[in-house]
Chain A
Amino acid sequence: MTQFTFFGGKGGVGKTTVSSAYALECADAGLETLVVSTDPAHSTADVFDQEFGDDPRPVEGYDGLSAVEIDPEQEVRDHLTELRRQLNAQLSAAMVNEVDIQLEMAHQTPGAYEAALFDRFVEVMRNADAYDRVVFDTSPTGSTLRLLALPDLLERWIDRLMDKRERSIDLFEKAAIGNKEPRRVMDGDPILARLQERKERFEFAGEVLREDAAFYLVLNPDELSIRETSRSLETLAEANLPVRGLVVNRLTPEPEPREEGRGATYLRQRVETERDRLEHIQGEFDVPVVATIETRVEEVRGHILEDVAGDLEIAVTDGGPARTS
């Protein structure tokens, strides 16, 4: 059974670092692991210092670790192109232009980006049999978390659409007198079939997210980040997706006691403020802090990543879903 681990959080808190480190830890523990990045800026490539593409590719230098980078904008473009192709094959030339405008509009709505991303998530989940663990490095908070709350919402939407469609077809069938062919028939209606297919996908995603997924939020010890985390926790709780733990990243290292001077004083003060905030985090949220990671001087990559992986106290076996009885 593949388990899915999601890392979310505000932009710039170090989600990529944490998720890469966690993936590395899983791989080291002998689990076949895949890291999925959805950040268009694609920092996974920087962390491992190599290029990744749209298809999973093994990470050089690490056994049992693969990575894939998803570009939602590209997904939206591909989706549009594919639909255009179908359109040209199916419709009369006069209609193509008309419908094309509608298509274009649908791909520019605010939801398109999220829908495309969601599609890819589901695809990754469906083809995840080769991996024991899939780690999602999600793009900044708002969109991705809403995304994960989507299946329920979308399922309801599709249900309503199907219901409407069924009712209208039913009426059309009733309106056909004698042996006149009804204008629409229920059997083999392509629209209903398409909607049904979509609905099954959402159901699948909803089930996987509820049963085989674990969520972690990454945050920094600063006010903005804490507030954002509190909002994310609410969003996820509303979507019935409990967060397993918080990872506090970028803690200031404490100077040696014998050290004096401006630098040391500054650090000591910072450490104190951060300790207060950490206590606040531990006290206010009923989600446990599963790891604290100190700031590194350099960019986290290469062997420093292994260092960070050591700091993570999320047990690899713990990454799986809680088995609620």
Chain B
Amino acid sequence: MTLADRIAAFRATLEEWLRGLYHGMFTHPAYEKVEAEAEDTEDAFMLACFPDAFGIPSPVSYYTAELLPYLEDEYQSWERRMWDRQSVIERKGHQYHF
């Protein structure tokens, strides 16, 4: 193996590591943040659809009940998130990686 080849191999590895580091430090948390935000919006949607789950009567829950057969995943994760969530701060805190 020539010196040039070894330098090239080293640079390739370094590049991969750097990209990984960049992804781990910046890109991934950013995507995670977007996803968390999406989940939050979805929670708001679910809450608006089924406020009676928390004892708040809604004029449209009769209609939104029709959505339930299509909301399997959403409903399940929504319930889980509602259980898990101690406070808004706690959830928002997840977004920051220290």
A residues engaging B (CB < 8 A)? 76, 79, 83, 86-87, 89-92, 95, 98-99, 102-103, 105-107, 109-112, 115-116, 150, 153-154, 157-158, 160-161, 164-165, 167-172, 174-175, 177, 183, 190-191, 194-195, 198
Contact = CB atoms under 8 A, between A and B. Distances in A.
B55 to A, nearest CB: 9
Interface in B63-95: 63-73, 75-76, 79
Nearest to B34: A175
Contacts of B31: 175, 177
Contacts of A83: 65-66, 68-69
Given A107-B65, A161-B48, A168-B42, A99 B60 contact: no
B57 to A, nearest CB: 5
A18 to B, nearest CB: 30
Nearest to B50: A102
A111 B65 contact: no
B44 A164 contact: yes
B67 A194 contact: yes
Given A110-B57, A168-B38, A175-B35, A105 B67 contact: no
B30 to A, nearest CB: 9
B interface, how many residues as a size bin?
A: 35 or more
B96 interface: no
7 contacts: A105-B53, A106-B52, A154-B59, A161-B64, A171-B34, A171-B38, A195-B67
B63 A115 contact: yes
Nearest to B73: A183
Contacts of A116: 62
B62 A79 contact: yes
Interface string B9-47: 000000000000000000110011011011101101100
B35 A171 contact: yes
Nearest to B28: A177
B60 to A, nearest CB: 5
B80 to A, nearest CB: 11
Contacts of A191: 67, 70-71
A157 B63 CA distance: 11
A148 B74 CA distance: 33
Contact of A164 (B37, B48, B58, B68): B48
A191 B49 CA distance: 11
Shortest 4 CB-CB distances between A and B: which pairs? A171-B38, A168-B41, A175-B35, A106-B65
B69 A111 contact: no
A90 B57 contact: no
A90 B34 CA distance: 29
Contacts of B63: 115, 154, 158, 198
B70 A90 contact: yes
A145 to B, nearest CB: 15
Contact of B60 (A158, A172, A190): A158
Contacts of B27: 177
A109 B52 contact: yes
Contacts of A190: 70
